């Protein structure tokens, strides 16, 4: 009775009962095996690869089980929330093609029957359940003022909160109705705390689909359920939302394992069946001292999902790389099924790696090279141009002015090639990689080569005629080289190198250097075709 009176005092505006709420959020009509899961980001304006990893895992699990996937914004921490943050999240997810069955549009319209899909709009719902717990004596109001400065907090905890080492009971847990009323009459704000039933020596076991059974110390702390603004911090919101919204599987980072015992006690207090957990490992990097550490927003540009967009990586690169991290079987699957879309690769929650995956940029770029190599010249050109329009307007103008030239460049050693060249991993690198197309190179011949290079290139420029095939091009070079004292047969050259100025390869090297400024390049014949007669002659003469 006392508790009911306190509950009414604290929540005079809440008239709905828990049953009435459940009537509005009926059990979902899903079959065994269909997974209902969600991505529940806190919109901070930064999409961390770890969060995206989680989103991608849950998206796949829902999709592969013909289940339901929804997006819920966890915007209860107003201090952290940034204005544009929701839009940034939407943009990043849609860029990567992650689709939701249920969500709230950026202009505030709920799609789906279990909304609002934004926590800050669910205050009433949380309060119904908080009121219920207070009425049942399982929760209580706490009027402790937020103390300034850390020292005060510690002092307060030492003297008041800690009954023994093992548990943290709040000083307000046993206030009388009169005391509560005096506070309310005084206009004091309050938080709602769980009255933990534990003493600090209990242990629990809970199941995780990736890690199996986990044994841990039971919660023994009067954790906060509602803050003084009536909005819950993560644990209570998680229990209420994932229950009402019919989540069957919670995929979240393994940093949540430590607080799961508190979540479990909240589910129990509410009388809700516990949801199934799937705590994914966190993506790591090798740190400066050779140590393995969590990939971090502070130190690693790769932690930010916009990095990949800015660098112009194909979307598939990041998705396929993450699939590699999720399940090591993906690599073999990809080898055996080079032409299937990544989404054909299916995995179960129990098949997700339990070991923290290591982010390795070399492997990442290798995967990307394979993906870029599959693009036709036209596709690569389109992607390059689209990237340039965002990040390099000068380049975009150049690409758009001569589409045929740049499509040919993109198609070089790629379109129709039995073994397409695997050299490009993102669009950002292409301008530099093909710099000899954009500007005449600075060429330096080695001292020993200078005289020969001058003689050969002068003759080549004088006789230059555009060839129509690579073979014809090579024949022309060979004939000229032969007439100038180069070996056209490598065996003869190897037997008596002193009889020659070099072999045909040496002559090709002179041309390559004059044209590209580099000793290595894709097919020279094609590059020269792209540059055109006039430019080729100018470079040879230079």
Residues forming contacts to ligand GLU in the complex (CB under 6 A) are 40-42, 51, 74, 238, 250, 252
Nearest distance from residue 236's CB to ligand GLU, in Å?
12
CA 94 to the chain's CA centroid: 12
Residue nearer to ligand GLU on the CB measure, 238 or 414 = 238
Q: How far is CA 30 from CA 22, 62, 99, 454, in A?
A: 17, 12, 19, 78
Helix axis angle for 377-391 and 393-401, nearest 10°, is 140
Q: How many CA atoms lie within 13 A of 184 on its CB side?
A: 17
Residue nearer to ligand GLU on the CB measure, 250 or 322 = 250
Q: How far is CA 428 from CA 54, 330, 391, 478, in A?
A: 27, 27, 9, 37
**Residue at token pair 């695997």:** 422
Nearest distance from residue 111's CB to ligand GLU, in Å?
20
Nearest distance from residue 299's CB to ligand GLU, in Å?
20
Q: What CA–CA distance (Å, rounded) separates 312 from 181? A: 61
Give φ, ψ of 449 to 5 degrees. -95, -15
Q: What CA–CA distance (Å, rounded) separates 245 from 152? A: 40
| Closest among 455, 269, 420, 284 to 353, alpha carbons compared | 284
Residue nearer to ligand GLU on the CB measure, 233 or 441 = 233
- H or E stretch including 38? strand 36-39
Cβ(327)–Cβ(53) below 8 Å: no
Q: What CA–CA distance (Å, rounded) separates 204 from 214? A: 8
Residue nearer to ligand GLU on the CB measure, 251 or 323 = 251
Nearest distance from residue 229's CB to ligand GLU, in Å?
17
Residue nearer to ligand GLU on the CB measure, 41 or 377 = 41
Nearest distance from residue 72's CB to ligand GLU, in Å?
8
Nearest distance from residue 234's CB to ligand GLU, in Å?
6
Nearest distance from residue 94's CB to ligand GLU, in Å?
18
Nearest distance from residue 38's CB to ligand GLU, in Å?
7
Nearest distance from residue 134's CB to ligand GLU, in Å?
25
Nearest distance from residue 40's CB to ligand GLU, in Å?
4
Residue nearer to ligand GLU on the CB measure, 252 or 512 = 252
Nearest distance from residue 73's CB to ligand GLU, in Å?
9
**Residue at token pair 């394979």:** 370
**What are the structure tokens assigned to 122, written together?**
């669910």
**What are the structure tokens assigned to 418, written together?**
């039995």
- H or E stretch including 124? helix 123-135
Residue nearer to ligand GLU on the CB measure, 41 or 246 = 41
Residue nearer to ligand GLU on the CB measure, 41 or 232 = 41
Residue nearer to ligand GLU on the CB measure, 40 or 262 = 40
Residue nearer to ligand GLU on the CB measure, 40 or 540 = 40
Cβ(320)–Cβ(97) below 8 Å: no
**292: β partners:** 286
Q: Is the dihedral of CA 13, 18, 20, 25 positive or negative?
A: positive
| Closest among 535, 534, 533, 542 to 510, alpha carbons compared | 542
Residue nearer to ligand GLU on the CB measure, 183 or 252 = 252
Q: What CA–CA distance (Å, rounded) separates 313 from 384? A: 10
Q: What CA–CA distance (Å, rounded) separates 356 from 367? A: 20
């Amino acid at each position: 009775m006392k508790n009911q009176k306190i509950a009414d005092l604290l929540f005079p505006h809440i008239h709905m009962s828990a049953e009435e709420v459940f009537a509005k959020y009926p059990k979902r009509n899903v079959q065994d095996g269909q997974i209902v899961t969600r991505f529940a980001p806190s919109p901070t304006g930064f999409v961390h690869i770890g969060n995206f990893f989680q989103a991608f895992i849950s998206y796949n699990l829902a999709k592969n089980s013909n289940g339901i996937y929804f997006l819920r914004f966890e915007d209860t921490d107003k201090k952290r929330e940034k204005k544009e943050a929701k839009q940034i999240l939407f943009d990043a997810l849609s860029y990567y093609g992650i689709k939701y069955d249920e969500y709230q549009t950026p202009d505030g319209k709920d799609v789906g029957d279990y909304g609002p899909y934004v926590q800050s709009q669910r205050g009433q719902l949380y309060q119904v359940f908080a009121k219920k717990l207070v009425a049942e004596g399982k929760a209580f109001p706490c009027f402790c003022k937020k103390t300034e400065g850390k020292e005060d907090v510690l002092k307060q905890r030492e003297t008041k909160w800690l009954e023994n080492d093992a548990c943290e009971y709040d000083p307000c847990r046993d206030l009388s109705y009169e005391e509560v009323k005096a506070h309310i009459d005084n206009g004091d704000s309050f938080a709602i705390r769980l009255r933990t039933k534990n003493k600090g020596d209990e242990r629990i076991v809970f199941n995780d689909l990736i890690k199996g059974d986990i044994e841990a110390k039971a919660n023994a702390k009067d954790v906060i359920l509602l803050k003084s603004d009536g909005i819950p911090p993560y644990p209570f919101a998680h229990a209420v939302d994932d229950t009402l919204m019919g989540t069957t599987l919670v995929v979240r980072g393994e940093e949540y394992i430590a607080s799961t015992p508190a979540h479990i006690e909240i589910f129990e207090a509410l009388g809700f069946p516990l949801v199934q957990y799937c705590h994914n490992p966190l993506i790591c990097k090798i740190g400066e001292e050779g140590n393995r550490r969590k990939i971090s927003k502070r130190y690693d540009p790769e932690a930010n999902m916009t990095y990949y967009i800015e660098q112009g990586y194909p979307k598939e690169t990041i998705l396929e790389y993450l699939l590699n991290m999720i399940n090591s079987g993906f690599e073999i699957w990809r080898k055996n099924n080079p032409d299937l879309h990544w989404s054909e690769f299916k995995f179960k929650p129990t098949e997700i790696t339990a070991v923290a995956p290591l982010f390795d940029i070399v492997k990442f770029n290798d995967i990307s090279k394979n993906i870029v190599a599959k693009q036709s010249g036209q596709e690569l050109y389109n992607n390059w141009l689209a990237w340039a329009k965002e990040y390099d307007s000068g380049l975009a103008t150049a690409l758009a002015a001569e589409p045929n030239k740049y499509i040919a460049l993109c198609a070089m050693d790629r379109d129709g090639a039995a073994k397409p060249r695997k050299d490009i991993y993102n669009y950002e690198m292409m301008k530099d990689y093909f710099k000899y197309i954009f500007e005449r190179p600075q060429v330096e011949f080695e001292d020993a080569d200078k005289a020969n290079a001058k003689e050969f290139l002068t003759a080549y420029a004088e006789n230059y005629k555009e060839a129509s095939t690579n073979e014809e091009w090579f024949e022309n070079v060979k004939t000229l080289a032969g007439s100038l004292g180069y070996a056209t047969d490598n065996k003869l050259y190897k037997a008596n190198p002193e009889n020659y100025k070099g072999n045909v390869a040496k002559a090709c090297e002179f041309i390559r250097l004059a044209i590209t400024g580099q000793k290595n390049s894709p097919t020279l014949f094609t590059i020269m075709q792209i540059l055109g007669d006039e430019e080729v002659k100018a470079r040879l003469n230079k």
